[in-house]
Structure 1
Amino acid sequence: MNRLLGTACVLPPALAFAAAFAMSTSLPAQDSETPRPKVAASPPGRPDSSLVSGGLYKADPDHTLVEWSVDHLGFSPYFGLFGDVTGTLHLEPQRPEQARVAVTIPVSSVTVVSPGLKQHLLKPPRTEGGKPDFFGPAPEDARFVSTMVRTTGEDQAEMTGNLTLNGITNPVTLDVRFHGAGTMPKAMGGGEVIGFEATGTFKRSDFGMDFSIPLVSDRVDLRIAAAFIKDTGDNPSGEN
């Protein structure tokens, strides 16, 4: 107590008063009729591939993110995000090389911290009949459809697929790592969930976006967090 009082004496008067008030004021008692929320002892998902069951999964648009990053003027990396991803995953744990992914990414909802940059990304062509610097004002959704999966290690694989962006389709390869699986609590919707991380690169000039190269890098780095929820409906085709 002497130490606390000594500290208060060297504080400015306003801060000293606030400190003394805080020490002399008791916290309000918690309403005994309001139950505390129960906290799970551990997360429902674990990096245990034995928890994965086969079948059709659908992308969780609220927890699937595509991060893109470019080098800006050689000074720093700059990144943005795509969300609201939809699509499907067909997976059989005993035959991972037969996994199939088809996802759609809404380019128009690109997220960056700079309003000016977002306006530029979605800016119309500078001249009538010309092409926009980047995506343009009404960009088509991007789409990735896998064509081959090759296991490269325990819980790791290389996935090659066709990426359609800006109306142009080119192959892109992703390094994929299993992150976790389990059953979502019923209070959060329930269902079996599986998640992955993936990384990859491509050249934006291959998709018709060569504006400001090399000041802004041609190379685009991808980092993807993908969550899929087991489909229990009657959609055997898995088409989205």
Structure 2
Amino acid sequence: MLRKTLAALAISFSFAAVVQAAPVAYTIDSAHTDTLFSWNHFGFSNPSANFNNIKGTINFDSAAPANSSVDVTIAVGSVISYVAKLDDELKGDKFLDAGKFPNITFKSTKVEGAAGQNHFKVSGDLTVHGVTKPVVLDATLNKAGEHPMSKAQTVGFNATTTIKRADFGVGAYVPNVSDEIKINITTEASVPKA
């Protein structure tokens, strides 16, 4: 009887260890990550711009998504709209003020989603222009597995959210240039090789 009890306990502990596995830390691949943001311009068009210097870590636990987390830093000076004058304006003191506030950051506070599912709500603190506000990202896991080129374990996500730029002290030209900013993110992140 004692042997059966000990065996059952051993199996339970083994199962618990598997279920409570730590999240895997993936490093964001800036070359395959876009943070595209768009706005409405006087009702005529919906221009967009992107950042191309994005660094950070995605800690992802597919078995227990609540154990996951995201920590990202975006260099404001890397903004690119493919219109030089607009790039300068976005980096200037009327908008993002890269000289005074060189980085945008996002640090998750909660990840919600079911094990084995591909859709998650990622709540966190977004800091723009020195102001921190809570936001929620609607995230989708595109794929997880070995990358065919690098052979590294890799995950890919898309995420969307909408913010009001005036909430972050970046309200120039509202309402002619919309306060509402739509953000679309796509990213690949891999486990660094030893």
TM alignment of 1:8-27, pairs within 5 A:
none
User: 1:181, 1:94 → 2: CA distance?
Assistant: 13
Report SS of the residue matched to 2:113: strand
Report SS of the residue matched to 1:199: strand
User: 2:79, 2:97 → 1: CA distance?
Assistant: 12
Q: Cα offset for 1:116? A: 1.2
Is 1:92 matched up with 2:61?
yes
**Residue of 61, 86, 91 corresponding to 1:122:** 91
CA deviations over 1:67-107 (Å, ceiling 9, x no partner): 00101101111100012211111122110122111010111
User: 1:181, 1:197 → 2: CA distance?
Assistant: 13
TM alignment of 1:87-236, pairs within 5 A:
87-123=56-92, 132-138=93-99, 139-151=101-113, 154-185=117-148, 188-233=149-194
Name the amino acid aligned to 2:67: Q
User: 2:151, 2:41 → 1: CA distance?
Assistant: 42
Q: Cα offset for 1:120? A: 1.4
Is 1:77 matched up with 2:39?
no
User: 1:80, 1:58 → 2: CA distance?
Assistant: 23
User: 1:112, 1:218 → 2: CA distance?
Assistant: 18
Q: Are 2:58 and 2:71, in contact at CA under 8 Å, matched by a contact in 1?
A: yes
Q: Are 2:122 and 2:137, in contact at CA under 8 Å, matched by a contact in 1?
A: yes
Gaps of 5+ in 1: 1-52, 124-131, 234-240
Q: Are 1:140 and 1:167, in contact at CA under 8 Å, matched by a contact in 2?
A: no
Runs of 4+ in 1 over 6 A off after TM superposition: none
Q: Cα offset for 1:208? A: 0.5
CA deviations over 1:156-177 (Å, ceiling 9, x no partner): 0111100011111111111000
> Could you say what the CA RMSD is over the residues aligned between the two structures, in angstroms?
1.7
Q: Are 2:96 and 2:128, in contact at CA under 8 Å, matched by a contact in 1?
A: no
Q: Cα offset for 1:154? A: 3.0
Report SS of the residue matched to 1:121: helix
TM-score (norm 1): 0.67
Identity %: 33
TM-score (norm 2): 0.83
Report SS of the residue matched to 1:77: coil
